[in-house]
Amino acid sequence: MVIPQVVSRQRVADHGEVYTHPREVNAMLDLVRHETERIESRFLEPACGTGNFLVEIVARKLAVVKAKYAKTQLEYERYAAIAIGSVYGIELLADNVLACQQRLFLLFDQQYTQLYEARCKQACRETIRFILRRNILQGDALTLTTVAEPTEPIVFSEWSVINDGLIRRRDFKFAHLINRADSHSLLLFSGSGEETCLREPVKEYMPICLFALATQE
């Protein structure tokens, strides 16, 4: 689905909303191709709109997941969840947030259905939806707060696979994550796993099975 670059003149006037053309999106992402094709590499789009950048990043990551793990459904499901969980978006407009979440979900679900047909698990789909609700948020990247509650900080979840195949979730304030980051970088939780260990999570969760992840709502 191709999103037009301008939805309406009013939205341009009110919010400066102009979407980047796929040609430019891909040209920019090609500059960091090695990161876009690394499953665990995390990206943030601080004004994500309906997800033009995030959709292309996820498409590249899912191609890698398919190539490496498609022969084993559980491994595919686990690493597809990590790939989806590696992209983050902030957007002022509620309709754009929902559209971005839906585009990313459909990208996953089309590949998942094509690969496994009747063996697809509804619990896996619910997990992906849950991750997207945690990662694509309505907020203001300048004030670092949510739109619904302007005094509430934006909080993102970090997702990782631990040794026994369970999924670990840790929540971090966005403001804390960018204190040491390059303000021009799309990378979030940048660097190795040790880098985020230097930052204090606001909440840590017990490792849990992929298919039970949505119970941590």
In a domain, 2, yes or no: no
In a domain, 156, yes or no: yes
In a domain, 122, yes or no: yes
In a domain, 55, yes or no: yes
- Give residue-wise pLDDT tens across range 110-161: 999 999 999 999 999 999 999 999 999 999 999 999 999 989 999 999 999 9
User: Contact at 8 Å (CB) between 104 and 148?
Assistant: no
- Mean model confidence pLDDT for the chain: 85
In a domain, 160, yes or no: yes
In a domain, 40, yes or no: yes
Query: Considering its fold, how many domains does the chain have in total?
Result: 1
In a domain, 4, yes or no: no
Question: Dihedral sign, CA of 71, 74, 79, 85?
Answer: positive
Q: Could you list the residue range(s) of the whole structural domain that residue 103 is in?
A: 9-216
| pTM score of the predicted model | 0.83
What pLDDT is recorded for position 19? 58
In a domain, 1, yes or no: no
Of 99, 129, 94, the C-alpha closest to 3 is 99
Question: Dihedral sign, CA of 195, 91, 20, 107?
Answer: positive
